[in-house]
Amino acid sequence: MTTPSNHMTEEIARMQEELLANAEKRRSDSNIARAQSRRIHVLESMMETVPVGVVLADADGQIIYGNKHVETMVRHPILFSDDVDSYGEWIAYHADGRRVESHDFPLSRVLRERDPRSELDVHYQRGDGSRFWMRIIGEPILDSENELLGATVALIDIDEELRLQNAQRVLIAELNHRVKNAFSVVKSIVSQSLRKVSVDSGLRDTVNRRLDAYASAHSKLIGSSWETAPLKDVALEVLGPIGGDQVKLEGPVIELPSRQALAFSMAFYELATNALKYGSLSELEGRVDLFWNLTDNTELSQLEICWIERGGPVPSEPSDKGFGSFITGRALEAETSGRVTSEFLPTGYEWKLRMPIQKEEIKNT
């Protein structure tokens, strides 16, 4: 039989247990809150130390955060725009002078258009009225269910980068002009020297054409800022005027470093002129297939380039190796760290080069 005193004792014990449980829950909630607060503090500290401006917006487009680097760059306080239609208050201009509208900004594009990434270079008007070039890169923020939580943009000052690029273009244009003049002077000196020693006119023409081929390759590199040139473009520049429709090109997009591009230009010229004089291009029905492919796809892939002649006279191997053989052989091997092989077959001349190539030189198209 339960007495009133026993019942009171049980009730007090139950209340104590509830109080202890509530206290434990409060401690747990407090620990969670402190942990979350620490994480937020660490995240904000990280945002303040990155060397670019960072802006965050929620899923509705309202800007909710910007680090101190933003204000340093734009020289005005963070504009906490209410939504994507308000981004026009950040005053910026396109390269052609048009005002950047709200819907143009990468933050708007990733939030409204659901673009996975958006990038835009703008001429931004600072708070003091001056302008500078700024790159804006935006990406969405998604949860584990791929639902949109908001978006972030990085703001990068590219003023100095563009200034250096413009200065480089001016210098390269001036260098191109001077080098072209130098080629003309060299051709003139060579022609006069060869005439004075009564050299055959055919040899003079050959020397001049070789200089022209080198100058053409140089001009192609100028167009790509001296860094790289596509293999196909190098081949077309040389082979188009010589072989026309009799030459077929096929292969993936490969960017050649400048020195290799010059070496290939000279090699293709030698192969084409030999084919025109003695090989398949000397016949109307003759043809040349120039193709290249990758034999594997590791960090250091192997590129194989093949020059196959068909439809011409049966070739015969020359008794001595001249300058052309040096250009298409040892010189090219030295520039590419590759290996050249050639065969004089009844069906036509075949030339092949196998060389290592860096993965970044392979373009996915």
Mean pLDDT of 37-61: 76
Q: Which fold has domain 48-157?
A: Beta-Lactamase (3.30.450)
Question: Any idea which architecture 162-361 has in CATH?
Answer: 2-Layer Sandwich (3.30)
Please say if the pLDDT value at position 5 is more than 60: no
More confident residue, 18 or 73: 73
- Cα-Cα-Cα-Cα dihedral of 328, 333, 339, 343, to 10°? 10
Res 325: pLDDT: 87
Please say if the pLDDT value at position 189 is more than 90: no
Mean pLDDT of 198-222: 64
Res 48: pLDDT: 74
Please say if the pLDDT value at position 306 is more than 80: yes
Q: Rounded CA gap, 238 and 170, in Å?
A: 27
Res 126: pLDDT: 96
More confident residue, 208 or 117: 117
Please say if the pLDDT value at position 18 is more than 80: no
With bands split at pLDDT 50, 70 and 90, how would you rate the model's confidence at 365? very low
User: b/e for 148-175, b at 16 or more Cβ within 10 A?
Assistant: eebbbbbbbbeeeeeeeeeeeeeeeeee
Per-residue pLDDT tens digits for 271-289: 988 898 899 998 989 999 9
> What is the residue extent of each domain of the chain?
48-157, 162-361
More confident residue, 258 or 351: 351
Out of 95-99, 156-160, 278-282, 300-304, which region has the weakest mean confidence (pLDDT)? 300-304
Res 164: pLDDT: 81
Please say if the pLDDT value at position 246 is more than 60: yes
- 139 alpha carbon, distance to own chain's centre: 20
Per-residue pLDDT tens digits for 98-139: 999 999 999 999 999 889 999 999 999 999 999 999 999 999
A 10 A CB-CB count for 271 gives 26
Mean pLDDT of 162-189: 67
Please say if the pLDDT value at position 213 is more than 70: no
For residue 51, with 0-12 CB atoms within 10 Å meaning exposed, 13-18 middle and 19 or more buried, which class applies? Answer: exposed
More confident residue, 216 or 347: 347
Mean pLDDT of 176-183: 62
Please say if the pLDDT value at position 27 is more than 60: yes
Res 171: pLDDT: 61
Within this chain, domains 48-157 and 162-361 share the same CATH topology = no
Per-residue pLDDT tens digits for 85-97: 999 999 999 999 9
Mean pLDDT of 176-181: 63
For residue 8, with 0-12 CB atoms within 10 Å meaning exposed, 13-18 middle and 19 or more buried, which class applies? Answer: exposed
Mean pLDDT of 76-88: 95
